[in-house]
Amino acid sequence: MPFETELLIHQSVKGRYGVDLPTPEVRNRTGLNARSEIGLPEVSEPQVVRHYTRLSHQNYSIDGNFYPLGSCTMKHNPRLNEKLARLEGFANLHPLQSEEHSQGALELIYQLTDWLKKLSGLPGVTLDPAAGAHGELTGMMMIRKAHEAKGNPRKVVLVPDSAHGTNPATAATCKYTIVTIKTGDDGMVDMDAFNSAIETHGEDIAAFMLTNPSTCGLFEPNVKVIADTLHSIGAYFYCDGANFNAIVGKVKPGDIGVDVMQINLHKTFSTPHGGGGPGSGPVMVTEELVPYLPIPYVEKKEDGTFTLIKENETTIGRIKGFHGQFGMMIRALAYMMSHGADGLQKVAEDAVLNANYILHNLKDDFHVPYPGPCMHECLLTHKKQKENGVTTMDIAKALLDAGFHPMTVYFPLVVDGAMLIEPTETESRETLDGFIEAMKTIAKRAREGDADAFHAQPQTTFRKRLDETRAARKPVLVEEK
């Protein structure tokens, strides 16, 4: 059972410390008086170790159990990758070291770039972006620059209403006006809405940002038509590739008319999220957009050595300090090599198989907004349970008591009471069966009409239902000093 622990700030006892440092000679050439009270705790090493170990016990993790968060892609995190990222030759490498001292790092970047080119079918790659959304921004900056080079940056970006929120936020950060395209009853882009937006905004359209496979767990069947239409008016097709794990080794985005796509390395290629990050969001582009790639990037010289290109006339510029999330690149390359081309294709197939297995087994107990088969995630709603006063949030909290992390709730926004379940390929049939059983039991309880009991859940977790309204109304972000 998890134990309570107080914030370290409140455990402080003056005179304790957790690091033995040499006593420095006191000098001051800063030109200013030395710092006064900061307000940091004073605690010993055992206290710190116990505090954080206790905190770890208050967490749910993929190491411990199934984590079916749709769109977030929580799969097994191999420890080999961790070991390799910690090699001294990588961990202690300073980003401003000479190329001679960093040939191994540059070569690793080059090799990862090569894998991504071959998997995506797109010839240009940047590994600089720090996360998926940062990759989106990088991609949209490139699109803007390409339009500018043709004399008109254009004004409008089309985004489906089912898109991840980062898509419209990214386009807005790039100062584009967002025109929302509605999703049809089948969960796909409504082609009438798409065509009418094309007609209305025509050559004002800079790009269409489409997540494919979509956040409804579906592959967009009209991708080719969409790509052709966009290209016919000189607009670009941006594909949010956060869900690439459903099609890796099966579909090459470059072959289907995608101009720009980010891949969330921390999802598809399994780098641990550690409570929300770090991530890495490489962007792949067509030949036409290569001139606009951000700096720096790696090139192979004729003598076989590697060099970092830091200047280029047409680039969008620099989008992050130094050269991207290098530690994540090591992990991703190790993951790709462990799977190989053959394994990555199996990744996609097993991810799709697992999602369909869940969908098939739950389709009688829960409302399925879009008929299957689905891709790597399946979408259910609370429609049947709501008749008995049980909502998506109640189902999520009941799952916690059943020992499972809930699925993604209330997303995508276009589906009322959405529950997006992504099992990933690293789950066994036994695990899926356990989850299905738990969901069926919840559906049965809801049918029996015990809504009040649901509202009181979870009961078995370290904390019971938390008052989120209070947190937002009277925000407390730090302790009083």
Partner 1 sequence: MRYLPHTDESRKDMLNAIGAKHIDELYTHVPSETLMSEPLSSLPSHMGEMQVESHIKALAEKNTPTSKLPSFLGGGCYHHHIPASVDHLIQRGEFLTTYTPYQPEVSQGTLTYVYEFQNYIARLTGMDIANASMYDGATAVTEAALMAKRLTKRSNVIVYPCVHPDYIDVLKSYSTHSNGTVELGTEPDENTACVIIQSPNYYGLVFDLKELREKCDAVGAKLVVAVTEIVSLGLLPAPEVADIVAGEAQSIGVPMSYGGPHLGFFACKKQYMRQMPGRLCGKTVDADGKEGFVLTLNTREQHIRRDKATSNICTNQGLCALAFSIHLSLLGETGFKTLAQLNHTQACKLADALESIDGVTLKTESFFNEVTASFPISTELLKDELSKHSIIGGIPVGKTLHSMVFCATELTTDEDIAKLKAAIETILSEHSTNGGLSHAV
Structure tokens at 258: 């995608």
| Number of residues in contact with ligand PLP under rule CB under 6 A | 13
Asked whether the beta carbons of 225 and 53 are under 8 A apart, the reply is: no
The rounded distance, in Å, linking the Cα atoms of 248 and 387 is 40
Using rule CB under 8 A, residue 339 touches partner 1: yes
- 237: amino acid identity, one letter: F
Q: Based on the shown chain and the rule CB under 6 A, indicate whether residue 211 belongs to the binding site for ligand PLP.
A: yes
Q: What gap in Å lies between CA 241 and CA 136, rounded to an integer?
A: 10
Residue with tokens 């985005």: 253
Of 29-48, which residues contact partner 1 (CB under 8 A)?
Answer: 29-43, 45, 48
Does 101 contact partner 1 by CB under 8 A?
yes
C-alpha–C-alpha distance, residues 346 and 248, integer Å: 9
325 vs 356 by CB, closer to ligand PLP: 325
| From 84-92, 130-138, 307-315, 336-344, span contacting ligand PLP (CB under 6 A) | 130-138
Site for ligand PLP contains 424 (CB under 6 A): no
The single residue among 125, 189, 205, 316 that binds partner 1, judged by CB under 8 A, is: 316
Based on CB atoms, which residue is closest to partner 1, 161 or 450? Answer: 161
Q: Does 102 bind partner 1 (CB under 8 A)?
A: yes
260-262 and 205-211 as β-strands: parallel, antiparallel, unpaired? unpaired
Interaction partner, residue 168 (ligand PLP, partner 1, none; CB < 5-8 Å by kind): partner 1
Residues 227-256 that bind ligand PLP (CB under 6 A): 240, 242
Helix axes 166-173, 132-149, angle to 10 degrees: 40
Q: Considering CB distances under 5 to 8 angstroms, the limit depending on partner class, which of partner 1, ligand PLP, none binds residue 211?
A: ligand PLP
In angstroms, what is the C-alpha Rg of the chain? 25
Cα(201)–Cα(144) distance, rounded to whole angstroms?
A: 16
Regarding 88 and contact with partner 1 (CB under 8 A), the answer is yes
Contact 395, 382 (CB under 8 A): yes
Confirm or reject binding of residue 266 to partner 1 (CB under 8 A): yes
The answer to whether residue 304 forms part of the interface with partner 1 (CB under 8 A) is no
CB 322 within 8 A of CB 95: yes
Q: Is the dihedral of CA 212, 213, 215, 216 positive or negative?
A: positive
- The SS3 of residue 420 is strand
Query: How far is residue 131's CA from residue 144's CA, in Å, rounded to a whole number?
Result: 20
Residues in contact with ligand PLP, shown as a per-residue x/- string from 136 to 165 under the rule CB under 6 A: ----------------------------x-
Using an 8 Å Cβ cutoff, are 281 and 264 in contact? yes
Binding partner of 215, given ligand PLP, partner 1, none, CB within 5-8 angstroms per partner class: ligand PLP
Eight-class DSSP state of 234: T
Q: Is 131 or 298 the residue whose CB approaches ligand PLP more closely?
A: 131
CA distances from 170 to 102, 134, 231, 259, 324 (A): 33, 8, 21, 17, 19
Residue 283 C-beta: closest distance to ligand PLP, Å: 12
Position 132 contacts ligand PLP (CB under 6 A): yes
Min dist. Cβ of residue 279 to partner 1 (A): 4
Residues in contact with partner 1, shown as a per-residue x/- string from 182 to 221 under the rule CB under 8 A: ------------------------------------xx-x
By CB under 6 A, is residue 264 in contact with ligand PLP? Answer: yes
Beta bridge partners of 210: 239
Q: Which does 113 bind (CB under 5 to 8 A by kind): partner 1, ligand PLP, none?
A: none
Residue 259 touches which member of partner 1, ligand PLP, none, C-beta under 5-8 Å by kind: none
Closer to ligand PLP by Cβ: residue 256 or 308: 256
Q: Which stretch binds partner 1 (CB under 8 A): 170-178, 229-237, 380-388, 444-452?
A: 170-178
Contact between 158 and partner 1 by CB under 8 A: the answer reads no
Q: Could you tell me the two tokens for 446?
A: 């809801």
Residues 281-320 contacting ligand PLP, CB under 6 A = 281
Q: Provide the sign of the torsion angle of the four alpha carbons 116, 118, 122, 125, taken in this order.
A: positive
Q: Which of 279, 296, 412, 423 binds ligand PLP (CB under 6 A)?
A: 279
- Residue 440 and residue 381 in contact, taking contact as beta carbons nearer than 8 Å: no
Which secondary structure element, helix H or strand E, spans residue 353, and what is its range?
helix 326-362
Q: Is 294 in the site for partner 1 (CB under 8 A)?
A: yes
C-beta separation of 138 from 129 below 8 A = yes
* Interface residue list for ligand PLP (CB under 6 A): 71, 131-133, 164, 166, 211, 215, 240, 242, 264, 279, 281
